[in-house]
Chain A
Amino acid sequence: MSILIDKNSRVAVQGITGRDGGFHASKMLAYQTRIVGGTSPGKGGSFTSDKIPVFNTVKDVVINEGADTSIIFVPAPFVKDAIMEAADAGIKLIVCITEGVPTLDVVYAYRYASVRGASLIGPNCPGLISPSKSLVGIMPGNIFKEGSTGVISRSGTLTYEVVYNLTSNGIGQSTAVGVGGDPVVGLYYIELLKMFQNDPETESIVLIGEIGGDAEEQAAKFIKESITKPVVAFIAGSSAPADKRMGHAGAIISSGTGTAKEKKAAFEAAGVPVANEPSQIPSLLSL
């Protein structure tokens, strides 16, 4: 079954005529994602080189093509507006790839989307993929394999590294979701763990965390209380110094909290094995 996206998801690409939007729209289309249209204010009525129709507004894509999912490639200063436009148009799942969005913009847009029943993924994320069904993001489809392990990650290429190890060991994925590296993001561990728990196709879960915040600690508690499927974790950043932003806006140990050590301890206390390195994950799953 997978979660959030499948062959029926009708996807609109916001910012389709931009360099990244155009490039990844082609890649998603090649993966058989149902890209039903894109937006670029002023370029409505045209088509991309892949013959994807371009519209002026998200509402147009929803009305004309029945879009229910959107992926945002617009520059950071315009993301808040893009998320609101999508939510207002009736999009139910909004995936935001863009990095560098001001946090207060995310706070505002997240609330706007929530109130309208739309889920947000990201920002600053690689998107999500249900292998063999749909790719709504920038993840390289060829390293994924359809299977029964759900993947939740705050990272981009580290997710690929982990998935590469899984696939090489014959362990396929039901859905892999990149939640993003920012301090405030949409769907996070707990909501996704719940979805995987309720997904008949998912039998196990891999969680890839990193320093900063306490989402992993909260996830650990939630897993102990409410998740029966086996979970394996990996936490990046054990060697990170305090008070430094390690690339991701949300990856920072501040006032001594948010360390990898604390997160590992929380998972271990919840009975979730924590890998020492990504290549160890397949063997921990087989336990």
Chain B
Amino acid sequence: MKIHEYQAKHFFDTYGIPTAEGVVCKNVNECVDAYHKLGGGTVVIKAQVLTGGRGKAGGVKLAKSANEAAERAASILGMDIKGYAVDRVMVAKGVEIESEYYISFVIDRNSKSTVLIMSREGGMDIEEVAAASPEKIFKIAIDPHTGVPDFLAREAAWSLFSSSNIVKQAVPLIQNMYRLFTDKDASLVEINPLVITAQGELVAIDGKMNFDDNALFRQPEVEALFEPTDEERKEQDAKSKGFSYVHLGGKIGCMVNGAGLAMATMDMIKLYGGEPANFLDIGGSSNPVKVIEAMKLLLADPQVNVVLINIFGGITRCDDVAKGLIEAFKSIDTNIPVVIRLTGTNEKEGREMLLGTAFHSAQSMGEAIRAAVDLSNRE
């Protein structure tokens, strides 16, 4: 789950991580008020959207007067950045930057731990830095049972900074970032850039936090910040009904039991010359209610002209699935052809139940997908 910069900043503030003062504004007037409230001078007007690349898109601008602030705000509010409409900006106090750094905590699959990542290449795309000059990136894997003791925070700070004054500020900053990471079940806490100001202060002038979806059940404060797009809302709704759904845009609606099998099904549809409309993992149940809900979701997509159901019954029995499908289709009204592939436990019984129904039955995955693609391309 993602949150806005200003929300990350709020977490930083509560965890003692120094940030530049900032105010969230929804219109030009609020921006001008904020400008004055921050004491005038130089401010940065930053689009608040749940995507990166704001700067490149022109969503981050300096302003040196109230008029400029108004003008910048007007140009940024209402902007579209990578499909996200800007309805909020943060007006942040300008800071005299002497040098910029990168620092983050992130889950690292390889070390199976949280790692601290630091670089002197602040204010840049860290992935580009990692690709072009990996030696400029320092990584420390954190033992979850130990956390970040003082000596480790100092070691990390001295690898990045050369002044005692800065190291003294960096140590608690690093420790507080880690505490925030673990307290909130984050998957990323990133400051890019972390700057040393002309006054010798360490300040986070940008902040990003991503959270572990699996942990939201125990992070109500974080979950309350969830701001889904329409698609994400549909995906979330599906999740609450017990299945995983991702819209893709093609014509062949899919319903599969198992995420890996569902991905392989989509892949094979494309391989055979068709276009999958969606990814849908219905999980391990043959429950008719779930099937009805999933079918409703598929059929709500106007582009779908064929439905492909691919079930490998392991513990789930194929005759149960067939029963569920027949039951489900009693309350679904559609002319769209449905191809069903049932393999596994009680497959013969399951397929027998489908004889004489309008379902196109197939034995192998290849057969089913070929049939679905042919039907779809014919329409």
A residues near B (Cβ < 8 Å) are 23-24, 27, 76-77, 100-108, 110-112, 138-140, 142-143, 153-161, 164, 181, 183-184, 208, 210-211, 213-215, 218, 234, 236-241, 244-251, 255-257, 260, 276-279
Given known pairs A160-B344, A277-B271, the reply for A251 and B263 (CB within 8 Å) is yes
Q: Are A208 and B260 in contact (CB under 8 A)?
A: yes
Given known pairs A240-B279, A244-B246, the reply for A157 and B214 (CB within 8 Å) is no
Using a CB-CB cutoff of 8 Å, which residues 259-273 of chain B contact chain A?
A: 259-264, 266-271
Secondary structure at the B interface, as helix, strand, loop or mixed, is mixed
Q: Can you identify 20 A-B contacts, CB atoms within 8 angstroms?
A: A102-B215, A105-B215, A108-B144, A111-B113, A111-B145, A140-B314, A142-B345, A158-B258, A158-B261, A158-B263, A184-B112, A215-B109, A215-B110, A236-B261, A239-B276, A245-B246, A246-B259, A246-B262, A248-B260, A249-B213
Given known pairs A76-B214, A240-B279, the reply for A155 and B343 (CB within 8 Å) is no
A143→B318 CA distance, assembly (Å): 14
A234→B107 CA distance, assembly (Å): 26
Assess whether B286 is interfacial by the CB under 8 Å rule.
no
Q: Are B263 and A104 in contact (CB under 8 A)?
A: no
Assess whether B293 is interfacial by the CB under 8 Å rule.
no
Q: How far is the CB of B81 from chain A (nearest CB, A)?
A: 15
Q: Are A279 and B315 in contact (CB under 8 A)?
A: no
Query: Residues of B contacting A159 with CB < 8 Å?
Result: 260
Q: What are the interface flags for B143-157 relative to A under an 8 Å C-beta threshold, 1 for contact and 0 otherwise?
A: 111000000000000
Assess whether B71 is interfacial by the CB under 8 Å rule.
no
Other than A102-B215, A160-B312, give 18 A-B pairs with Cβ distance below 8 A: A77-B217, A77-B218, A102-B185, A103-B187, A103-B215, A107-B114, A111-B145, A140-B344, A156-B259, A157-B256, A157-B260, A218-B110, A241-B248, A245-B213, A246-B244, A246-B246, A257-B127, A260-B267
Q: Are A102 and B366 in contact (CB under 8 A)?
A: no
Query: Residues of A contacting B281 with CB < 8 Å?
Result: 247
Q: How far is the CB of A144 from chain B (nearest CB, A)?
A: 11
A208→B217 CA distance, assembly (Å): 31
Query: Residues of B contacting A160 with CB < 8 Å?
Result: 261, 312, 314, 344
Q: Are B144 and A214 in contact (CB under 8 A)?
A: no
